[in-house]
C-alpha cells in the first residue's frame, strides 16, 4: 500500500469523525520539534473552527471524503425504518448515541436520528435527548447538504420530511379510536 493512501485537495469537503463536515482550505508545511510536517488545514464553518491534521495521520484519525451516493442512500433508507427503542438506562443509551455520532459513519448517525425523532403527536423529548437528536441531525444534514450542493437547513427539511412520513406509518397503529 502506498504511503499516501488518502489525499485531499484544497477545496474538497471532508468528514472528520469528531467534528463532521469541513473543507480543506490549504496544505501547509510546518516544522514542529525539528520535524517537517505536511498538514491539511480544515475549516469547519458551523463551529468557526480551524483544524490542522498531519497528512500522514489523516487515515488513522478517520478523516474521509464525503460518503458515496450508495452510502447516503443507505442512510436515507435507515431514516425510513422503524425506530428501535432500547429499554436500557438513558445514560448508557446516550453514550451509545454519542459514540455513533462521533464514529463519522453516516448510517450509524442516521440510526440515532431515526431512534430519537419525535413526531408532533408523540411525547416530548427530554433536554438531553433533544440535544443528541439535534447534534446527529446536524451532522447528517451537513453531509447531505455538501453532497447535494445545498445548505444544512435545506438538508434538514429533507430529513424531517422523511422522518415525518415514516412516523405516520409506524405510529398509525398506536392511535386509539
What domains can you pick out in the chain, each with its CATH number? 13-65 (2.40.10.170), 69-171 (1.20.58.1290)
Question: What DSSP element (H or E) covers 74?
Answer: helix 69-80
Q: In the prediction, which pLDDT does 160 show?
A: 92
33: which 3 cell numbers?
A: 520539534
pLDDT in tens, 96-127: 999 999 988 899 999 999 999 988 878 888 99
What would the mean pLDDT of 57-61 be, rounded to a whole number?
Answer: 86
What is the chain's length?
177
Q: In the prediction, which pLDDT does 97 show?
A: 95
Amino acid at each position: 500500500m502506498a504511503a499516501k493512501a488518502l489525499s485531499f485537495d484544497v477545496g474538497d469537503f471532508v468528514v472528520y469523525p469528531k467534528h463532521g463536515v469541513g473543507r480543506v482550505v490549504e496544505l501547509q508545511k510546518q516544522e514542529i520539534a525539528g520535524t517537517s510536517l505536511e498538514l491539511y488545514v480544515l475549516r469547519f464553518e458551523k463551529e468557526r473552527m480551524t483544524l490542522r491534521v498531519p497528512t500522514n495521520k489523516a487515515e488513522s484519525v478517520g478523516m474521509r471524503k464525503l460518503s458515496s451516493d450508495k452510502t447516503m442512500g443507505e442512510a436515507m433508507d435507515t431514516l425510513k425504518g422503524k425506530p428501535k427503542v432500547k429499554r436500557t438506562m438513558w445514560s448508557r443509551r446516550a453514550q451509545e448515541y454519542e459514540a455513533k455520532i462521533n464514529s463519522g459513519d453516516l448510517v450509524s448517525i442516521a440510526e440515532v436520528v431515526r431512534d430519537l425523532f419525535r413526531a408532533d403527536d408523540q411525547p416530548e423529548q427530554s433536554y438531553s435527548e433533544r440535544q443528541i437528536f439535534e447534534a446527529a441531525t446536524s451532522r447528517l444534514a451537513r453531509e447531505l447538504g455538501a453532497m447535494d450542493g445545498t445548505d444544512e437547513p435545506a438538508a434538514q427539511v429533507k430529513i424531517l420530511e422523511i422522518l415525518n412520513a415514516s412516523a405516520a406509518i409506524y405510529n398509525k397503529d398506536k392511535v386509539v379510536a
